[in-house]
Amino acid sequence: MSSEEYLEIVDHSGKVIGLAPRSKVHGNPHLMHRVVHVLVLNNDGHILLQKRSESKDVAPGRWDTSVGGHVTAGEDLLTSLRREMLEELGIAGDEPEYLYSYTHSNTYETELVSTFRFPYEGAFSFNPEEIDEIRFWSFDEIRDAFGKALLSDNFEHEFTTYADYLRGEGRI
């Protein structure tokens, strides 16, 4: 039996319409799958970004969302995000706050993204097989990095969506 990760193929509403191995989903933007993102924020409102390992198949060496990962077949969003937070940054704790969902698509893949926010000031123990570096970024630093091939296209979309969300709340 293969140990390959299986992902649920979903429609735009999140309804499961199929199942496929990750190797078939990545590289085929017609097979939308679910992912979770967690924006980890410090007390100053800065966002923790991770610099993806050069060995990653998506956005190697680029700065990306604090935590991001696939929702594996049969897994709910909260289970997935807790697993990803622990695997990627070594953190656990209170339940993150759900913010919004959106569709991200590029020539490589299409994702139904569910984004959560998690305030955190504790220690991190990041996974060096997936992440080369982590650090908190201010909004201005992130805006200055746009379009310079420093950030993943996924995170540029995430940040734009998050800024729109905060504007809607009257926070910026």
Q: According to DSSP H, which parts of 54-93 are helical?
A: 77-89
- pLDDT band per the 50, 70, 90 thresholds, residue 4: confident
**pLDDT, tens digit (0-9, with 9 covering 90-100), for 94-134:** 789 999 999 999 888 899 999 999 999 989 999 898 899 99
> Which residue in 153, 51, 150, 37 sits closest to 97, CA to CA?
37
Domain ranges of the chain: 6-168
**pLDDT, tens digit (0-9, with 9 covering 90-100), for 13-30:** 999 999 999 999 988 999
Lowest mean pLDDT among 10-19, 32-41, 55-64: 55-64
Would you state the pLDDT for residue 58? 79
Would you state the pLDDT for residue 2? 55
Both tokens of residue 73?
């077949």
> Which residue in 167, 34, 35, 48 sits closest to 118, CA to CA?
48
CATH superfamily of 6-168: Nucleoside Triphosphate Pyrophosphohydrolase (3.90.79.10)
Would you state the pLDDT for residue 1? 44
Query: pTM of the entire structure?
Result: 0.92
Task: Please name the helix (run of DSSP H) or strand (run of DSSP E) that holds residue 72, with its range, or none.
Answer: none
Task: Please name the helix (run of DSSP H) or strand (run of DSSP E) that holds residue 142, with its range, or none.
Answer: helix 139-145
